C-alpha cells in the first residue's frame, strides 16, 4: 500500500477530535517548537508530545517503525555534527575531536525534531487524509490547491497499482536492474507510461465529473460543527506552547 494510513482509524480521544482543531494545534505547536532552543524546554516539549502519542493509543510496532525512519536524517547529522563543530573537546580519537558544543547541538536538533514529529503524528496521523484536506479548506487554503491534493490522494493508489503491474510485467520478461543504459531506459519508459496513463485517466475522470455538474468547488456531506471539546483541546495545546515559550524566555533571561 502506497497510501497506508495506519494511524487514522481508532477510537481514542485524539481520533474523535475535529480535524480542524487538530490541524490548528499542530501548526501552532510546530511553528513554535521550531524556534525554541533551550534543551530543558525542548525536553519538556518531547514529554508533552509523548503524552499526546500515548493518548492517541496507536499501534506500537508501526509507530516505532515510523519513528525510526523519521530519525534517519537526524542520525545522518549525528554522523557529522559532534566532530565538525568547534568548541571544548570531550574526547579525541586520532584526528577526530568530539566537542561538547557538537554533542549539545546534535541533542538539541534531536529533541526539537522529535517533539514536533511526535505531536504531528498524534494530531494529524489520527485523521483520514480526506478530512485533513477538508480542514485545510476550512482554514481558507485556496480551493485549487485543496482540489489538487484531493486528486493526488485519489490517484496515488491507482498509479501505484499500475506501477506494480508494470514492474511485474518487466520482471516476467526477464528484466534485471543493473547500472546500464538499458535499465535506465526501461525505468524512464515505465515512468513515461505512468504519466501518460495518469494523464488520460485524469481527462476521463474530469469529463465524467463535469458531466455530473462539477464546477470546480468541493462539496461535502459532512457538516460537523466544532464542539466545545475541540476548541478546548486546541486551546489547551496552544496554552502549553505559550508556557514553553515563557520557560524559554525565563531561562535565557
Partner 1 sequence: MHIAEGVLSPPVLIGGAVITLAGLAYGLRSINADNVPRVGVMSAALFVASLIHVPVGVSSIHLLLNGLAGLLLGWAVFPAVFVALLLQTILFQFGGLTTLGVNTATMALPALLCYLLFGRLLRRQGALGVVASFLGGALAVALAGVLTAAALLLSNAEAFTTAAAALLVAHIPVMLVEGVICAFCIAFLRTVKPRMMPKPRNTRERVDVG
Binding to partner 1 (CB under 8 A): which residues in 115-144?
115-117, 120-121, 124-125, 129, 132, 142, 144
Among the listed residues 44, 102, 122, 230, the single contact to partner 1 using CB under 8 A: 102
Closer by beta carbon to partner 1, 83 or else 247? 83
Shortest Å distance, C-beta 141 to partner 1: 10
Considering only the stretches 12-20, 50-58, 176-184, 242-250, report the one whose residues sit in contact with partner 1 under the rule CB under 8 A.
176-184
Shortest Å distance, C-beta 232 to partner 1: 22
Verify binding: residue 252, partner 1, rule CB under 8 A: no
Q: What is the DSSP string of 189-238?
A: HHHHHHHHHHHHHHHHHHHHHHHTT--S----S--PPPPHHHHHHHHHHH
Closer by beta carbon to partner 1, 91 or else 227? 91
Q: Residues touching partner 1: how many (CB under 8 A)?
A: 82
Closer by beta carbon to partner 1, 84 or else 227? 84
Shortest Å distance, C-beta 101 to partner 1: 8
- The residues near 146 (Cβ < 8 Å, ≥ 6 apart) are 133, 134, 136, 137, 218
Shortest Å distance, C-beta 139 to partner 1: 13
Distance CA 221, CA 244 (A): 39
12, 84 Cβ separation under 8 angstroms? no
How many residues make up the chain in this entry?
253
By CB under 8 A, the residues from 32 to 51 that bind partner 1 are: 33-35
Shortest Å distance, C-beta 228 to partner 1: 26
By CB under 8 A, the residues from 219 to 238 that bind partner 1 are: none
Verify binding: residue 112, partner 1, rule CB under 8 A: yes
Per-residue contact flags (x/-) with partner 1 for residues 181 to 220, judged by CB under 8 A? x-xxx-xxxxxxxxxx-xx-xxx-xx--x------x----
Per-residue contact flags (x/-) with partner 1 for residues 75 to 94, judged by CB under 8 A? -xx-xxx--xxx--------
The closest alpha carbon to 124, from 64, 56, 57, belongs to 56
Distance CA 57, CA 121 (A): 11
Amino acid at each position: 500500500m502506497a497510501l497506508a494510513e495506519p494511524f487514522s482509524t481508532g477510537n481514542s480521544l485524539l481520533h474523535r477530535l475535529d480535524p480542524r482543531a487538530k490541524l490548528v494545534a499542530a501548526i501552532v505547536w510546530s511553528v513554535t517548537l521550531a524556534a525554541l532552543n533551550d534543551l530543558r524546554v525542548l525536553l519538556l516539549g518531547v514529554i508533552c508530545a509523548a503524552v499526546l502519542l500515548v493518548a492517541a493509543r496507536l499501534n506500537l510496532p508501526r509507530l516505532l517503525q515510523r519513528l525510526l525512519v523519521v530519525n534517519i536524517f537526524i542520525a545522518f547529522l549525528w554522523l557529522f555534527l559532534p566532530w565538525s563543530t568547534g568548541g571544548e573537546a570531550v574526547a579525541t580519537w586520532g584526528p577526530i575531536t568530539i566537542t561538547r558544543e557538537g554533542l549539545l547541538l546534535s541533542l538539541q536538533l534531536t529533541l526539537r525534531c522529535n517533539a514536533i514529529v511526535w505531536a504531528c503524528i498524534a494530531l494529524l496521523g489520527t485523521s483520514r487524509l480526506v478530512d485533513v484536506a477538508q480542514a485545510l479548506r476550512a482554514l481558507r487554503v485556496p480551493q485549487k490547491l485543496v482540489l489538487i491534493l484531493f486528486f493526488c490522494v485519489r490517484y496515488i493508489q491507482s498509479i501505484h497499482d499500475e506501477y506494480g503491474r508494470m514492474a511485474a510485467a518487466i520482471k516476467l520478461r526477464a528484466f534485471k536492474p543493473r547500472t546500464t543504459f538499458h535499465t535506465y531506459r526501461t525505468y524512464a519508459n515505465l515512468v513515461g507510461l505512468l504519466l501518460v496513463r495518469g494523464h488520460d485517466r485524469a481527462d476521463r475522470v474530469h469529463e465524467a465529473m463535469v458531466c455530473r455538474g462539477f464546477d470546480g468547488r468541493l462539496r461535502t456531506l459532512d457538516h460537523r460543527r466544532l464542539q466545545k471539546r475541540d476548541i478546548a483541546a486546541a486551546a489547551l495545546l496552544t496554552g502549553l506552547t505559550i508556557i514553553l515559550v515563557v520557560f524559554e524566555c525565563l531561562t535565557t533571561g
